[in-house]
Amino acid sequence: MEHGQNLSSFYTLDNAQEKSMSCVPQNYVIPTMHRPNLAPQYANLAVIDMAALKKDTTSRSRVIREIRDACRRLGFFQIVNHGVNESVLNEALNVASNFFDLPTKEKVELMSNDVHKPVRYGTSIKDGVDKVQFWRVFLKHYAHPLKDWVHMWPENPKDYRFEIKFGDTL
């Protein structure tokens, strides 16, 4: 893929993230009135206790309703008592971070505009389209059931598949 090649919605190697810019370009600066409040007086966040899923049928149904309601109302929620060891979470975050440290040439191999693609690397999707752009870089991959998807995950960093997969054994 050549420098600046158009992938219809965004240009590879021609956006702020890939240029290693020393400052934030103006089109990434969100006007003050449109920024989220970093010091709200209260936070509207659903906290879901996953331990209740292992209890009786009534508790399990309640948790499922709570998840449904949080998704409908807020679009997100926090889970507690999920049973995933903190060291597993930290290793997964570390190896995921290592993916983003790879050379751009490697990451671009996974770049696609197809939102249904099982493994996809991307940057600010609408570069050049929106006046204000969101500075983001992501790697999305399907993971359930793991055996159906892990072979499609990035081969680098070398421990990516192992470290991320390790959490599935819990």
Report domain extents, the chain.
1-29+87-170, 43-83
Asked if 63 and 52 touch (Cβ cutoff 8 Å), the reply is yes
pTM confidence score: 0.62
pLDDT per residue, tens digit, the chain (170 aa), is 344 444 334 444 455 555 666 666 777 777 777 777 667 666 678 999 999 999 999 999 999 999 999 999 988 899 999 988 888 888 888 988 999 999 988 998 998 878 889 999 987 655 555 666 667 788 999 988 888 998 999 999 988 887 666 544 43
Euclidean distance between CA atoms 92 and 162, whole angstroms: 9
Buried b or exposed e, range 15-45, using 16+ CB within 10 angstroms = bbbbeeeeeeeeebeeeeeeeeeeeeeeeee
